[in-house]
Chains A and B, each alone.
Chain A
Amino acid sequence: MGVGIQVDKLNAWFGKTQALYDINMTVAANHATAVIGPSGCGKSTFVRCLNRMHETIPEARATGAVRIGEVSVYNGTSAVQIRRRIGMVFQKPNPFPTMSIYDNVAAGLKLNGFRDRRRLDEIVERSLTYAALWHEVKDTLKKKSGASLSGGQQQRLCIARALAVEPEVLLMDEPCSALDPISTGKIEELIFQLKERFTIVIVTHNMQQASRVAEFTGFFLLGKLIEFDKTEKIFTTPSDKRTEDYITGRFG
């Protein structure tokens, strides 16, 4: 089951440049929350701070508190442990090109020393089923490489790979921006179903996508969370003029 995320006074910097300012947000468990905003507004930085992926960038640092369920992200827990609880899917599908479909999904578990073959088979099948890819690849699991799949299938493979380690939260950073409308539709349908088991935070430039998949939406601008509310409210009657100007295309 997914867990909620509590963000309090989150600030982030890249060197001397501040990227996030005092972000407070409560992400509901087992719901999809969309993060929108113009390029450079800090939305990707924000989700990366949720599982400390920002630490992979030199000179990046963050202050404040993030809690994933009962676990404090910035207080004593290792980044590896955090990332096991929070899976991440990126803009461009990035399957391991030399690995089979099966090994791509099993990679995280194997890295953690998981060796039970029968159990591994079960988890791979379950993860691919969750990612709505099982029926398309079940006959070529160990024969085909991940890179041989179509773009949409590769992205679902990456989702399956993230789900295999049984995270509680799934972060998706523009997961459909490189996909055609049919693949995008499949991923969106998948997000809808995954909410039953995981908490999802999705960064998207596509506002229609945010309105289709997310129950809650946050609008970022210049590193600040301008407005956070139910999605239907954000897209029909936003409270802040800056939100309205952005979603109606008057700037950005």
Chain B
Amino acid sequence: MRSRFHQELDDLRARLLRMGGLAEQAVDRACQAYIERDLKRCHMVLEGETQINLVEREIDEMAFDLLAMQQPMAVDLRFILAVTKINSDLERVGDQAVNIAERVMDMVELPKADLPLDIPRMAAAVSAMVRRSLESFIEGKAELAQAVLEMDNVVDRMKDDAFITLVKTMNENPAVTRQALDALLIARNLERVADHATNIAEDVIFWVRGADVRHNLGQEDAPAAQAATERH
């Protein structure tokens, strides 16, 4: 038994969960800041980015050491590769939260505009995707990850609808163009967060089943699918 190695894998998992928690919190804070036009929350998101970047580097170093020192194989190799990719996606989620916070800070400077766009609904859908992708990682369950992939289309449609609606608003009411543009960028940022959640879900499927489902190239018959019972 390679108990020390497996303990280190558990440590890596725990560290990634910490990273996931920070990224999820950043998105939630940024969305809440939008809803409440709350500058304090915006600053919390900006300050939180440093911590996210720090943890990202720690995780990469841990993964790099494990690859170099332990020469992992099969599910352990897939796990470490998945962790490094999820880590990168979570850092990008943090960046998107910062982008949203910066747009909110700009909007707060401007008169409040009544925009025909339901950002809170979109934010709730995106947050759910991030949360479920992380749950699929925690549980090691490909089914949960698969459900996240199916949610991505919904968010994509929301972003497309937002684009059409806001362009129309800008044409009809040029006075709120800047606010509409900020909202459009926030919708775009949220859609990006959903894309990262999708990537995370794909990486979980790769880890658990050994199947590469990126770009709709599913391999349901991948051999490891038979070997892989759900990971715990």
Contact = CB atoms under 8 A, between A and B. Distances in A.
Contacts of A247: 73-74
Contact of A244 (B2, B6, B222, B227): B227
Contacts, number: 57
B222 A237 contact: yes
* Size class of the contact patch on chain B: 20 to 34
A239 B227 contact: yes
A244 B223 CA distance: 11
Contacts of B224: 236-239, 244
Given A243-B227, A249-B2, A236 B77 contact: yes
Contacts of B74: 235-238, 243-244, 247-248
A247 B210 CA distance: 15
B223 A249 contact: no
Interface residues of A, number: 19
Given A249-B5, A250-B1, A237 B73 contact: no
A235 B73 contact: yes
Contacts of B1: 249-251
Nearest to B73: A247
B9 to A, nearest CB: 10
A207 B73 contact: yes
Given A238-B227, A250-B6, 16 more contacts: A207-B73, A211-B73, A235-B74, A237-B74, A237-B222, A238-B74, A238-B223, A240-B227, A241-B229, A244-B75, A248-B72, A248-B74, A249-B1, A249-B2, A249-B5, A251-B1
Interface of A: 207-208, 211, 229, 233, 235-241, 243-244, 247-251
Interface of B: 1-2, 5-6, 71-78, 210, 222-224, 226-229
Q: List 10 A-B pairs, minimum CB-CB distance, nearest first.
A: A237-B210, A249-B2, A237-B224, A239-B223, A247-B73, A248-B76, A244-B74, A241-B227, A235-B73, A237-B223
